[in-house]
Structure 1
Amino acid sequence: MIRLLLTTLLVAAGFLPLAAQPTIKRPADYGYRHLRVPYGPDTVDVLILSKPGEEQRRKPLLLFVQGSLPKPLLLVHDKGTYPLFPFKGSGLYDAFHLVIISKPGIPVVADVKTLQPNFSYFDPRTQAPPLAYCQRNHLDYYVARNAAVLKYLVRQPWVDARTVVAAGHSEGSTVVAKMAATDRRLTHVVSLSGNPAGRMATMLAQQRGAEGADAAALFRYWQHVVDHAAEVTCTPADAPKTTYSFSVPPAEYLRRSRVPVLVLYGTRDAGAPFNDAFRLDLMRTRNTRVTFHDYPGLEHNFFAFKDGRINYDDYRWDEVAADFGRWVQTGRVAAEPTTRP
């Protein structure tokens, strides 16, 4: 399934006209509860996955904050839909009600044939993301919106508000980092494949790692972003406001966290050296609120490598999810790997 997903990401056809779009089922047809939560002038789409038969059983809550790109939550193909969460054998389904929030202005469910090759949704009329997405696609919106959703959810009788976890991957790691410093409803935060130095630091690291790379254009781009930090544009590229908000170093939020934080990352991820440096600095300052755990040889999406290439048959998300589930319940991650020189 995972390999099929990645292959489809590379070869999926372009979107079709609206008239050619297939009939899309409801989230409930795929096993998800669909809630619509008011937030200011917006109505926020929220999907919840619970163990069958335990939808009303009182359990802890796990909010999973996905990465970037204006993707629908449920990606429908000829045989059904791709898994919404990247972990399935980790035990999290038994222990939590799993929650995910749709990107603003993006359909909750879409057929993959109507999407871009990377599964992004573009407005068929403008060939760009919807204006509602462009206007809201920045850090402060996501943090405040998520807080409003949690405020609603923790009041539900099937939620055990004594344990409320926010776990964010990639871009989502920055969202949960700021939530750790601001949201009093959370009890635990998990940062997955983030960069405590921010988005532009990751982009520069990737550029530096390319053979014959010249980072001058990225520095010019960053200067433009800084000079237009509040500007909202609506093109396939991120607006300056988006890039600026996600480039403020999340380390600033993690140092002020109100709750325990677990930082998980693969050592072959572009953000790994920055996590290593942040880890050393928190050890120096005796900050024990943030715990780190690295996965030797894994990349950004927790795949391993074989013969110098990503091995899409060696997928470690279940291991990672089991580790952070154990940390939430016991305060301990799996045993640290043997010390290496």
Structure 2
Amino acid sequence: MAQTPVSGTDCLQFEIPGKKGSIQFIQVGADTSAVLPALIFLQGSQPVPLIIGTDEYKHVVLPFDYQKVAEKFHLFVIAMPNTPVEAVISALDENSCFVIDHDEPNSYDPEYLRNNVLENYVERTHRVIDEIVSLNHINGQVHMAGHSQGAKIAAVVASENPDVKSVALLAFNAFGRYDERIRSDRHALKSSKISGEQYQQRLADHYGRWQHIQQDPDDYASGNNAWVSFSIDYLPFLLKTDIPLWVGYGTEDISAENCDLLPLHFISAGKENLQLKPYAGWDHNFFDNEGTMHWNTVMEDVVEWLKAVE
């Protein structure tokens, strides 16, 4: 497996074949002199390049201090399918997503849309793990941390891959994806942001759209394929997993608000490998109600837990 330094960064880039095209990933921190465990970070759901270049510098797109993480683990991040590892900022939209036409909103690469399904991400992650464990600077230990959509992928991979030793799931909805739309409107009703009549109409709209999605589940241009593939119950995968699991979430995150129900299922199944960490008052990306982001705190907790269970 070839590895190439990424100019202007402290990263190594790798490329391997996959079932649906090549798989690219990076190691953040190019120092391979120390033999350490590997940590794969699986990001969320948008086609954001891993490295963004400006006229003055290149920025590794991670929301936490990756250099501190790299002191304990060799940190790897997998590129989104059909999305370049590196792109200049002018090639991105206002959300830092890679687009093919700036005049058209959400003009993502059609191949990205086609391949933006859970099964493909799981297969890609398995392939990357197969390669990482063979690297001389990895001590044979592979751990994962996934955020949002990445947590869903990590939950499935961890249940299937014996090389994964522990997994941290952040901002995780273990019970699907589409349900978040209904729960969001339920919160809007409770906080008097919408009326009872509006809530009822929105419910009807959600049910109607879900019926439409189910009638054409392979429609990638409309995103139906992604909705169907990710809107599943992840609890069976979690209960199948015997390695240590850590779930961290903000209590103001509607998508992850049901994480506090997970221990009930684990207790009923007689399993003791789950640790839950609610962050009171923080949202999906670990911002508090004053707008301060706490990603570094979360990752410090993740690393401390990973080292404890390693």
Secondary structure of the 1:95 match is coil
What is the Cα deviation at residue 320 of structure 1? 0.8
CA distance 1:90–1:101, change in 2 (3 Å): closer
Tell me whether 1:262 sits opposite 2:222 in the alignment: no
- Per mean C-alpha deviation after superposition, the further-off stretch among 61-70 and 217-226 is 217-226
Q: 8 Å contact 1:182–1:258 — kept in the other structure?
A: no
**Pick from 285, 296, 303: which aligns with 2:287?**
303
Q: 8 Å contact 1:168–1:192 — kept in the other structure?
A: yes
**Pick from 235, 259, 262: which aligns with 1:278?**
262
Match of 2:152 in 1: 174
What is the Cα deviation at residue 206 of structure 1? 1.7
Secondary structure of the 1:274 match is helix
Amino acid corresponding to residue 305 of structure 2 in structure 1:
W
Q: 8 Å contact 2:93–2:102 — kept in the other structure?
A: no
Query: Where do 1:144-159 residues align within 5 Å?
Result: 144-159=123-138
Q: 8 Å contact 1:35–1:46 — kept in the other structure?
A: yes
Query: Where do 1:46-65 residues align within 5 Å?
Result: 46-50=25-29, 54-65=31-42
Q: Percent identity?
A: 25
- Cα distance in 2 for partners of 1:272, 1:39 equals 31
- Cα distance in 1 for partners of 2:305, 2:20 equals 37
CA distance 1:125–1:300, change in 2 (3 Å): closer
Q: 8 Å contact 2:45–2:149 — kept in the other structure?
A: yes
What is the Cα deviation at residue 90 of structure 1? 8.0
- Cα distance in 2 for partners of 1:80, 1:216 equals 48
**Pick from 208, 233, 245: which aligns with 2:220?**
233
Amino acid corresponding to residue 174 of structure 2 in structure 1:
P
**Pick from 83, 92, 116: which aligns with 1:106?**
83
CA distance 1:89–1:108, change in 2 (3 Å): closer
Amino acid corresponding to residue 126 of structure 2 in structure 1:
A
Amino acid corresponding to residue 148 of structure 2 in structure 1:
S
Secondary structure of the 2:23 match is strand
- Per mean C-alpha deviation after superposition, the further-off stretch among 252-261 and 59-68 is 252-261
Amino acid corresponding to residue 263 of structure 1 in structure 2:
V
**Pick from 288, 291, 297: which aligns with 2:272?**
288
- Cα distance in 2 for partners of 1:299, 1:125 equals 30
Residue by residue over 1:292-320, the C-alpha shift from the partner in whole angstroms, topping out at 9 and shown as x without a partner, is 111111110011113xxxx1xx2211111
Amino acid corresponding to residue 137 of structure 1 in structure 2:
N
Amino acid corresponding to residue 215 of structure 1 in structure 2:
L
Secondary structure of the 2:181 match is helix
Residue by residue over 1:254-276, the C-alpha shift from the partner in whole angstroms, topping out at 9 and shown as x without a partner, is 11114221111011110343111
Question: Mind listing any 5+ residue stretches in structure 1 that lack a counterpart?
Answer: 1-25, 333-341
Query: Where do 1:1-341 residues align within 5 Å?
Result: 27-40=6-19, 42-50=21-29, 54-88=31-65, 91-124=68-101, 127=104, 128-161=107-140, 163-210=141-188, 211-212=193-194, 213=199, 214-229=202-217, 231-234=218-221, 237=222, 239-306=223-290, 311=291, 314-331=292-309
How many residues of Structure 1 are paired with residues of Structure 2 in the alignment? 294
What is the Cα deviation at residue 177 of structure 1? 0.7
- Cα distance in 2 for partners of 1:227, 1:289 equals 39
- Cα distance in 1 for partners of 2:156, 2:175 equals 13
- Cα distance in 2 for partners of 1:272, 1:34 equals 32
Residue by residue over 1:19-58, the C-alpha shift from the partner in whole angstroms, topping out at 9 and shown as x without a partner, is xxxxxxx8332111011111235211111112x6x32321
- Cα distance in 1 for partners of 2:151, 2:181 equals 16
- Cα distance in 1 for partners of 2:149, 2:266 equals 22
CA distance 1:89–1:142, change in 2 (3 Å): closer
CA distance 1:28–1:160, change in 2 (3 Å): farther
Q: 8 Å contact 2:50–2:60 — kept in the other structure?
A: no
Q: CA RMSD of the aligned region, Å?
A: 2.1
Residue by residue over 1:151-199, the C-alpha shift from the partner in whole angstroms, topping out at 9 and shown as x without a partner, is 01111111111x2111110111100010111111100111000111111
TM-score of the pair, normalised by structure 2? 0.88
Question: Mind listing any 5+ residue stretches in structure 2 that lack a counterpart?
Answer: none
- Cα distance in 2 for partners of 1:294, 1:63 equals 22
CA distance 1:226–1:262, change in 2 (3 Å): same
